[in-house]
């Protein structure tokens, strides 16, 4: 993979992306950055109705959503959502697969507005997509609020950041280099 110079001193890299049938490419386009200075590109909630039990505003439409007419059920997805209860976790797809180059990882992170306003955060802090993974990027969201929240089909729900990685090479030793802090841990540097 080759880095190319971009705007404001940043760099870009071409990545291969595959969109899955439950990703609405026509409406959403490919994942994009929210601004010129954004570090991460947005990931959307792209539910696969074969794997998720979704809700729609009109209960009579549930049979249509889970019926045999794929065109009609796809049209209904725009009104579909997942319930995520307080203090619960759910996992769903982004509808995309990305070929991450060797020497890099794709970090899946919370969107700040979702965390602050809705209490929806990435379950394990930061997720990692390794360079040898070729499946759908899955998103694990935890509701840390005290209210049930809805995640709507197509909603920007997380962000992804391409980052270089370094592999550790171990050098076993009986002592480590001395520092002023030493072994002082949590809270040792003050408040």
The phi and psi torsions of 4 (rounded to 5 degrees) equal -125, 140
User: Cα–Cα distance between 162 and 17 in angstroms, integer?
Assistant: 13
User: Cα–Cα distance between 151 and 145 in angstroms, integer?
Assistant: 14
- % of the chain surpassing 70 pLDDT: 79
- Average pLDDT of every residue of the chain: 84
Q: What is the pLDDT of residues 88-129, one digit of tens each?
A: 888 889 999 999 999 999 999 999 999 999 999 999 889 999
Strand 11-13 versus strand 3-5 pairing type? antiparallel
Domains of the chain: 16-26+39-48+82-164 (2.70.40.10)
What pLDDT, on a 0 to 100 scale, did the predictor assign at position 64?
47
Q: What is the pLDDT of residues 135-145, one digit of tens each?
A: 999 999 999 99
What pLDDT, on a 0 to 100 scale, did the predictor assign at position 139?
93
At residue 13, does pLDDT exceed 60? yes
> pTM of the prediction?
0.80
Q: What is the pLDDT of residues 151-173, one digit of tens each?
A: 988 999 999 999 999 999 999 99
User: Cα–Cα distance between 98 and 115 in angstroms, integer?
Assistant: 25
Closest CA to 93 of 157, 144, 149, 148: 157
């Amino acid at each position: 993979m080759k880095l190319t110079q971009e705007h404001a001193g940043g760099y870009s890299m071409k990545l291969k992306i595959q969109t899955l049938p439950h990703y609405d490419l026509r409406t959403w386009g490919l994942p994009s950055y929210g601004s010129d200075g954004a570090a991460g590109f947005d990931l959307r909630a792209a539910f696969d109705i074969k794997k998720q039990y979704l809700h729609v505003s009109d209960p009579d439409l549930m049979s249509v959503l889970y019926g045999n007419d794929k065109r009609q059920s796809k049209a209904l997805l725009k009104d579909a959502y997942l319930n995520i209860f307080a203090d619960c976790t759910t996992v769903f797809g982004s509808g995309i697969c990305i070929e991450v180059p060797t020497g890099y990882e794709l970090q899946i992170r919370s969107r700040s507005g979702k965390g602050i306003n809705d209490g929806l955060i990435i379950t394990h802090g930061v997720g990692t997509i390794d360079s040898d993974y070729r499946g759908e990027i899955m998103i694990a969201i935890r509701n840390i609020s005290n209210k049930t929240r809805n995640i709507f089909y197509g909603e920007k729900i997380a962000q992804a950041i391409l980052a270089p990685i370094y592999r550790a090479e171990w050098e076993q030793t009986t002592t480590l280099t001395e520092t002023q802090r030493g072994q002082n841990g949590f809270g040792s540097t003050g408040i």
